[in-house]
Structure 1
Amino acid sequence: MSQTTDAAETETPLLFGRVLDGQGGARPIAWAEALEWQPAAAGEVLWLHICRNRPGVLEWLEGRLHIPEPTAELLVSDQTRPRAFREGETLVGTLRGINFNPGAEPEDMISMQFWCDGRRLVTLRRDPLQIPREVVALLDRGDGPPDAGATITLLAELLIARMSQSIVDMNDVLDVLEHDDPEEHAERMLKRISTIRRNCLGLKRHMAPQHEALEQISRDAPFWFEEHDRREIAESIARLRRYLDDIDISKESALVLQDEIRARSLASSEHATYMLTIVAGIFLPLSFLTGLLGINVGGMPGMQDPDAFWAVVALCGLLFTALIVAFRRLRWL
């Protein structure tokens, strides 16, 4: 039944709608019914998940829900920096989650705006977001949140929990790179490390403001946001703080590994240059000697002596040996 209801909303802003029964379950609701919805029993809460870039969303927010124009524009805007504030007895906010859509990078965050007055909860997004669907699945099984405050809390918790997998993935890549051979794969390793550092910076830049938004919810949420919801938000704040610390550690680890690879690559290059210099220093006198004896002018000694060639070879061998001994005594070799 829920799939039929959700599929029927393709021409409306509604992605899905549920009426929470206050016991962890919910029933689907269509767009037309949602427009005229009133609670039929104590504890019922209407949750509508909206695609905010479809036509008519702004007008519906202002006309049906009587949301002030600045707040309604915030709910449908692309200015998605995490924030939260109380407006009378309503709670308004923007949260971000990691983009797990195909082809997306972890730092490509997806925003979700929400508005709630305790009886009605409206969440809005532009790009596909998996978290609301996971909460709906819990509600359809009868194991979901019982009210609006618990739903907001669960959404925030799941958005934050998804960070953990990205951090674990980045740390796994760093562990593999630490055991790789930088002399053979230096360029590939540096490229992957740069990607990890960029991901860390993106996650930190986008998720740090979410910490402030959750604290704002915990402090200033209206009366319908119950005490156990505040405790759950506090746990989410602590978890987010730990994740932000883990991101800093991953970023520093990537930086140390990057510096180590560059230092080893530079040392290898300098060693090769040094060895070439030593070889040039050894063969330069020999080249000078053979070049001098090879000039095509009269009067060159040994031109008529058949043993002169072997004498020159012996002289070159002695000179080569003397240069090796001298370089070793100078500790150049």
Structure 2
Amino acid sequence: MAGDAAMSRVFVYNGDGAREISLDDFCAQADHAAFSWVHADGWREDAHGIVSRCDHMPQAALSALLAQETRPRCTLMGHGALINLRGLGADEGAGGDPLVSIRLWAEHARVITVSYRPLAAMEPVVKRMLAGEIRDPGDLIAAFAQEITEALDPEVAQLGDDLDEIESSLSDSGAADVRRQVSEIRASAISYRRFISPQRQALERLSAADAPWLHPDDRLHLQEAADRCARMAEELEAVRERSALAHEELTDLRAEQMNRQALIISVVALVFLPLTFLTGLLGMNVNGIPFAHERWAFWGVVAVCVVMSVGISGWFAATRWLKR
């Protein structure tokens, strides 16, 4: 049961520690616990029933918890708060958005979470819960915020490092081959920033919310996570702009290479154009061609062609056409 981050699970905390219980024991034990956490897999057929066990949850919050398409947000509703966060998924090969959503309904002594895809931060938070580090809703939300930002930080930094390597290789002869990598980095930066920017706003709003179950240390951790999201959003914006500049530079470099190749082809064509004219003129099958029956005529024509080609090539070299 503990190895599957996507399945529905229930945790309770009392003064003597935290433990995981079955869904069948939820109604009997959760109401008497100092703090309880219910996590529901959104794809389960009974997910609605699991979530609705919270008696005083507003209908709007219930609908938002089970919604499949979400963006980071924080909305205060009565005695509780609805928080949507995005973090890296546990299954990196899965399709869809690179950041997985987790929806949280927090109220006094209880948190209900719902996710449709496994979240990478889930297992670290579960370990902290079972270790007794999470004792109230504020601790749980702060733990999710911390684990999500700590997992995202190296991913965002890696995008910048990859772009640094690409920028340092732009002058190499094979620089045109990295255009696809630049496009992938830019797409990842845009995708991450689309969720990280509103997530920062959601965490800042929650840290300033008038909720009695948020303690001062919880607000401090939430603000710290918000600051890290702000820094990541700024870095992603810089990566996006640098990627656009790198793509333009690669495009210019490719155009310059094509122009140089076209120039070389033009020079070669100009060298051989008079030679082609000469050989075509002497190759006509008509009478009257000078020295047609002389033994040295062929080698004479070859010598004239060599002299002409050397002269034309020397003129191109003297006028620096081959270095343009």
Do these two structures clear the TM 0.5 threshold for a shared fold by scoring above it? yes
Q: Structure 1: give runs of 5+ residues left out of the alignment.
A: none
Q: Distance in 2 between matches of 1:157 and 1:67?
A: 26
Residues 51 and 112 in structure 2, CA contact (< 8 A), matched pair in contact too: no
Residues 14 and 31 in structure 1, CA contact (< 8 A), matched pair in contact too: no
Q: Distance in 1 between matches of 2:8 and 2:45?
A: 13
**Aligned twin of 1:258:** 247
TM-score, with length taken from structure 2: 0.89
User: 1:1-333 counterparts in 2 under 5 A?
Assistant: 3=1, 15-21=8-14, 25-37=17-29, 40=32, 44-62=34-52, 64-104=54-94, 107-142=97-132, 144-180=133-169, 182-184=172-174, 186-187=176-177, 189-333=178-322
Counterpart of 2:100 in 1: which secondary structure?
strand
User: What per-residue deviation string (whole Å, max 9, x for no partner) do you get for residues 81-114 of structure 1?
Assistant: 1111111111111111122414147952211001
Matched to 1:159, the amino acid is: I
Q: Distance in 1 between matches of 2:148 and 2:223?
A: 15
1:172 deviates by 3.3
Q: Structure 2: give runs of 5+ residues left out of the alignment.
A: none
1:232 deviates by 1.4
User: What per-residue deviation string (whole Å, max 9, x for no partner) do you get for residues 245-294 of structure 1?
Assistant: 11122223323333333322222221111011011111100110011001
User: What per-residue deviation string (whole Å, max 9, x for no partner) do you get for residues 124-182 of structure 1?
Assistant: 1111113222112123234x222211111111121122111211322333344345575
- Aligned residues: percent identity? 27
Give me the CA root mean square deviation: 2.6
Q: Distance in 2 between matches of 1:183 and 1:321?
A: 30
User: What per-residue deviation string (whole Å, max 9, x for no partner) do you get for residues 208-261 of structure 1?
Assistant: 111121122122241121122112111111111111111122223323333333
Mark the CA change 1:322 to 1:130 in structure 2 (over 3 Å): closer, same or farther: closer
Mark the CA change 1:197 to 1:173 in structure 2 (over 3 Å): closer, same or farther: same
Mark the CA change 1:192 to 1:100 in structure 2 (over 3 Å): closer, same or farther: farther
Mark the CA change 1:157 to 1:22 in structure 2 (over 3 Å): closer, same or farther: farther
TM-score, with length taken from structure 1: 0.87
Q: Distance in 2 between matches of 1:105 and 1:261?
A: 29
**Alignment coverage as a number of residue pairs:** 321
Q: Distance in 2 between matches of 1:133 and 1:147?
A: 18
Matched to 1:96, the amino acid is: R
Residues 53 and 76 in structure 1, CA contact (< 8 A), matched pair in contact too: no
Q: Distance in 1 between matches of 2:179 and 2:207?
A: 42
Mark the CA change 1:221 to 1:49 in structure 2 (over 3 Å): closer, same or farther: farther
